[in-house]
Amino acid sequence: MTRALFIIDVQNDFTEGGALGVEGGAAVAAGITRYLAQHPDRYDTVFASRDWHDGDNDNGGHFATGPLGAPNAPDFVTTWPVHCVAGTTGAEYHPALTLSAVTVGVRKGQGRPAYSIFEGVTDDGESLLQKLDGFGVDEVHVVGIATDYCVLASALDAVAAGRTVRVLNDLIAGVDPVSSALALTRLAAAGVRIESSAQN
């Protein structure tokens, strides 16, 4: 069995103090680093995704820049404040995430809404599915941010791609506790195993 880890969007803008910071984001970054250091041989390959949005347009309606209450205000469901603009500090990986174990970087967005890592392109221009097939990956573990959006979408797409999928629930953080719990329920119903990093 060839096993991969997906590190989803552990970026400055999605951690505390960022444009869309979630509670526990920095702890997730540090936790992933600690986990990989403790288990250096657990994964055959490690993928790390980043939102990498254009700074000169609304990225296909993904960005909404109006003040709260205005018609063009973000709804925090399908439209969002400006975040993770390519080349900015907000788009960089959180400093507590050590990148030495990362095998493949994936950038997503780039002019359009993108939640799943499968919507991105690797740093060498391949699709994620091409990379998974090339490495012969048949099992995927998912960690990162945010549980109720990009972690959810990435794990569901991994299932759809025919992989065995686990989400490590002590190495994720969500936007909202209720929608995050619903996301985990939805994942479990899709056949994803939800367990802690200590269980696998």
- Exactly one of 84, 108, 131, 148 is catalytic; name it: 108
User: In 3D, which of 179, 111, 194, 154 has the Cα closest to residue 10?
Assistant: 154
Our answer to whether residue 150 is catalytic in this structure is yes
d(C-alpha 55, C-alpha 2), whole Å: 37
Our answer to whether residue 108 is catalytic in this structure is yes
d(C-alpha 152, C-alpha 2), whole Å: 22
φ, ψ at 109 (rounded to 5°): 105, -105
Contact between 139 and 113 under an 8 Å Cβ cutoff? The reply is no
- Exactly one of 9, 51, 148, 157 is catalytic; name it: 9
Q: How many CA atoms lie within 13 A of 198 on its CB side?
A: 1
Residue 45 Cα to chain centre, angstroms: 16
- Exactly one of 51, 148, 150, 157 is catalytic; name it: 150
The residues annotated as belonging to the active site are 9, 108, 150
